Structure 1
Amino acid sequence: MKNFKFSSFLLVPLLAVLAACGGGGGSSTPSTPAVTLKSIAVTSAQPTTMVTNTTAQLTATGTYSDGSTKALTSAVWAIKSGATTVAQVSSTGLVTAKGVGTESVTATDSSITGTIALSVIAPSPWTQVAAGGNQTIGLKTDGKLYSWGSNIRGQLGDGTSTDRSAPVTVSGNSTLWKQVAVGDRFAVAIRTDGTLWAWGYNLNGQLGDGTQIDRLTPVQIGTAKTWSFVSAGRAHVAALQSVTSTGTTGSAGTTVSTLYTWGSNVNGQLGDGTTDEKRVPTKIGTANWLTVAAGDSHTVGIQSNNTLWGWGDTSFGQVGNGATSGNVVAPVQIGTATWLSVAAGSFHTLAISTDSALFAWGRGDSGQLGNNGNSLQPTPVPVSTAKNWARIAGGLSHSVGVQNDGTLWGWGSNAEGQLTNGNTDSLFPVQIGDLKTWKTVAAGNAHTVALRADSTLWTWGRNGNGQLGNGTVTNSATPVNVAY
């Protein structure tokens, strides 16, 4: 058989056909330009005006040549000046305010840099603090309220139901707050114009706005502008309206403070002679009151003649009239002594007499009465022999007080460090530290907060919801500073 060979001249037309059909050699499609980073925007999750010792998380977002954007996780963070006296920044963009001044923080990626300017200011001094349940609210000299801790019912008033482990401002950013009280999952506060506001849980009408609707931000209670003091219990409120009459020429007018209550009343804790719930402030008699305090389901108050009165649940003797069962639905006088101040724990009561001696009564199973015992006491019993008590507060099962020399004392349950000395309960007052600069104190369910003479705020005890305000949820058996 004869062999045939394809000559090269026969391949030329074939290659031409293949080229015309797109086969064979390389494609003529143009290449896609590379996408490049064009700019970086740096933003903060918190305000860029920061208070010393607070932190803010910064985020770097890149914009690319194709118009797309994405968060930059590989950005290199730095302080623009290179100094660390005003601020420091971590590799993840967490900036910490260190000292008063201005500074810029940069984020760099692929030779592109973004910048954010920060201002660091000194914290405003604390003037007042209130604790209840598992949350805390404080007032500063700037007139703003700051809150932290549990927020399941909006009791922090910041417009959310998110727990906070560090202070946030109560919604509205008002600078007109005067006094605040914290109940169980709700709060009430008075402004400098005498108006009364409330927020949080409202199942029993404890917000006083006529509804049972929870409020995430403050709502005004009525239109009165004569509110002068307020106290919050578990689900009820007791407050005073004060009116000063015009005095004759050369003499001062007379101030009369009338008592109003509202909220839960199943045990007669509103003192209106019934056990019916009230959703708006209800006037209680015509007596002139100096102060009032609300517990879990009882209420106590001091009238203008320094007599002490109690009403509500007597199951643990907390009213102080000798009863240990049933309810007292209207105020009854407790003994014949005269008194300066009174505080209500959940199921026990504390009061300072006019000679500065301290007495307690009610539930005492954890030693919260401070009388070196743990039994129920239905009438006032002395707490130590000291006669120099100035401030007192009661929690769920612990008590705290400040003496006239500025020393701080605690007694009762210490299961979560609310007395600071380890976790041992105490049946009598034990000194908390050795400082003599304490000014006032407040107690939540199982945490304690106190102000020093230098207006710094300190907290200790339970912290599962961030109620200590130090940015963590870890209990502390020693005082921690709320540096905000």
Structure 2
Amino acid sequence: MLALVAGMGSVHAATVVHMDTSYRNSAAVLSDGTLWTWGDNQMGQLGNGSTVSADRPVQIGSGFAQVAVGSQYMVALKTDGTLWMWGSVLLRNQTLTETRPVQVGSGFAQLMNKDTASKTDGSIWYWGGARRLFNGNAGGDDMLDRLPPGYLQMISAGNNGLFLLAGGAIQSISRSFMPTDWLGIWIYAYGNAGPVDRGFVQLALGVFSAAGVKDDGTLWQWKGSEVPVLVGGGYRQVAKGSSHTLALKADGTAWAWGANPNGQLGDATFTDTEIPRPLGAGYARVAASAEHSLALTTDGTLLAWGRNTEGQLGVGPVGPSQPSPLPVVFEGAGTPGLGTMVATGTLTRLTLSAHVQVKPEHLASGAKGNPFLVAITPDGTMFTYSAPAFDRLNPANPLAWADRLQNTSSLLFVNQDMSHLSGTAFFIGYGLGATTAESLGEMLNSFRYKRVYDIQ
């Protein structure tokens, strides 16, 4: 017996499940699959369809699992295995410049970092800064390049890059050929010789230093041509800013050390230290870039601290640095909003009704617009509701529930056999505009819609 009520019941705030940051931007994926971005937006890297920056998180889509942040772009993996990018990023045969997410691939299993992702067949693919440093001639597709066999991961930082190789070995490269130039710091850097250079599982690269965690939990750090130095044991993740380091231990404690002029160590001071300082317990992941830091707690709270000149912390107006961790708030996340859908009966005798909920401020303002119901079948065909049946969506003449903006309820169908629509996903929302076409476009551009029900 099918008896579902989608979008109703107790309200639980969505929590953060994945996050990343770069010099001017940050992003997070919440437990409801929504993707949020904030910070500088000169290249459209927030993905909100504009170049207007944001000092607090802005929702740009749903259905996501992971996100990574580059210097002028972002990349995200959806739960269906598709890979999406936006902003300005170098691809195999083009420079992608988009202010909204664009699909660049499919069949992916994991987004490793801003430079690489793995597919379900085990192949590793790269783009962006990694492509400027390396061309492995392993082939690719129209959008992305494939790393050669034996190369498991690559991370880049400016003109420097690090590879994680089969067996946990590390290898470094640089685009500079001038040993006296500081850009050539990696030319003679520690490569893949010596007993210490085995067993690495995760690497981090800063401007002047690198670090790596091995499969035995030991953390190693080095600069230029130096041999890696043991920091300690019990670690499972490390992150690098320009000149500071964050590390996470297996017991959930976080540690920070390095330069601290903008409070990027998060210890409520502006004092540098070369000795790891504890930040407390209950952490699940850390991230660092330039002179700021992010950390995710085990309860799904995202904390940010350090420099905030571009709104990269997501905690409010740009301005003074924050030397202590502050929570990042995702306004409206996890609330029911926009409406509900109710389904009763069996698949062959299904009754389905829906209700769209317009925000009070839009009702009070007298704004013109339309509520919409959109159904998308597994083959991608789109339908809108027009009593008493569904019609294919015609962008030139879209169909809506009503001819004005109002809270609307509709009984879609009663005791009907919906087997032919198995796998169809229903979305509800509303848009602002003088005509149905304008309001449909505004709804899509503003992401003012949500998925409320799937026919199983």
Percent identity (aligned): 26
CA distance in 1, matches of 2:244, 2:226: 18
Alpha-carbon distance between aligned partners in 2 of 1:428 and 1:342, rounded to the nearest angstrom: 20
CA shift in 2, pair 1:430/1:398, >3 Å: same
Please name the residue that 1:209 is paired with: 136
The residue that corresponds to 2:309 in the other structure is 415
Contact 2:170–2:192 (8 Å) recurs in 1: yes
Q: Distance in 2 between matches of 1:404 and 1:482?
A: 30
Distance 1:413 1:188 in 2: 27
Equivalent residue for 2:128? Answer: 200
Residues 56-455 of structure 1 aligned to structure 2 (within 5 Å): 125-151=63-89, 154=90, 157=91, 159-170=93-104, 173-176=105-108, 178-182=110-114, 187-201=115-129, 206-209=133-136, 217-222=143-148, 224=149, 226-242=150-166, 256-264=167-175, 275-276=186-187, 283=192, 285=194, 286-312=197-223, 327-334=224-231, 336-383=232-279, 386-419=280-313, 420-423=315-318, 424-433=320-329
Secondary structure in 2 matching 1:425: strand
Larger radius of gyration: 1
Task: State how far apart, in whole Å, the 1-side matches of 2:250 and 2:176 are.
Answer: 31
In structure 2, the CA distance between the partners of 1:208 and 1:369, relative to structure 1 (3 Å rule), is farther
Contact 2:77–2:83 at 8 Å: present in 1 too?
Answer: yes
- Which amino acid in 2 is paired with 1:283? N
Higher helix share: 2
Q: Matched residues in 2 for 1:194 and 1:304: separation?
A: 20
Structure 1 pair 301/264, CA: closer, same or farther in 2 (3 Å)? farther
1:162-217 deviations in whole A, cap 9, x for unaligned?
A: 521111122xx3323532422xxxx33333333333333579x6224279xxx983
1:289 is displaced (CA, Å) by 1.7
Distance 2:135 2:228 in 1: 21
Contact 1:194–1:228 under 8 Å retained in 2: no
Answer whether contact 2:261 2:272 (CA < 8 A) is retained: yes
Shift in Å at residue 142 of structure 1? Answer: 2.2
Aligned-residue offset at 1:231: 3.2
Deviation at 1:265, TM superposition (A): 7.6
1:198 aligned partner, one-letter code: Y
- The residue type paired with residue 294 of structure 1 is L
Q: How many Å apart are 1:141 and its aligned residue? A: 1.9
Q: Is the 8 A contact 2:68 2:111 kept in 1?
A: no
Residue identity in the other structure for 2:157 = G
Shift of 1:368: 0.9
TM-score by length of 1: 0.49
**Alignment partner, residue 25 of structure 1:** none
Q: Offset of 1:238 from its aligned partner?
A: 2.8
Q: How far is 1:357 from its partner?
A: 1.6
Question: SS of 1:413's equivalent?
Answer: strand
Indicate how the Cα distance of structure 1 residues 388 and 482 shifts in structure 2: closer, same or farther if over 3 A, else same: farther
After superposition, the Cα gap between the structure-2 partners of 1:297 and 1:177, relative to the gap in structure 1 and judged at 3 Å, is farther
Superposed displacement of residue 330, structure 1: 2.3
Identify unmatched segments of 5+ residues in structure 1: 1-52, 54-122, 243-255, 269-273, 313-326, 439-469, 473-479
Amino acid at match of 2:128: G
The CA deviation at 1:433 is: 2.2
What amino acid sits opposite 1:414 in the alignment?
Answer: N
Offset, 1:348:
1.5
How many Å separate the matches in 2 of 1:481 and 1:397?
34
Residue 115 of structure 1 aligns with which residue?
none
Structure 2, gaps ≥5 residues long: 1-33, 35-60, 180-184, 335-443, 452-456
The 1:434/1:210 distance shift into structure 2, 3 A limit, reads closer
- Indicate the RMSD between aligned Cα atoms, in angstroms: 4.0
Q: Separation in 2 of the partners of 1:382 and 1:481?
A: 42
Structure 1 residue 352: Cα displacement: 1.2
Inter-partner Cα distance in structure 1 for 2:230 and 2:241? 19
| Structure 2 CA distance for aligned equivalents of residues 265 and 310 of structure 1 | 22
1:192 and 1:355 map into 2 onto residues whose CA distance is 30
Mapped to 1, the partners of 2:448 and 2:291 lie a distance apart of 24
Give yes or no for contact 1:200–1:217 (8 Å, CA) kept in 2. Answer: no
User: Within 2, Cα distance between the matches of 1:144 and 1:265?
Assistant: 35
Bigger RCO (CA 8 Å, 6+ sep): 2
Q: 1:389 to 1:276 in 2, by over 3 A?
A: same
Question: Aligned residue pairs: how many?
Answer: 273
Match of 2:341 in 1: none
Aligned partner of residue 416 in structure 1, secondary structure: coil
Query: 2:108, 2:117 within 8 Å by CA — same for their partners in 1?
Result: no
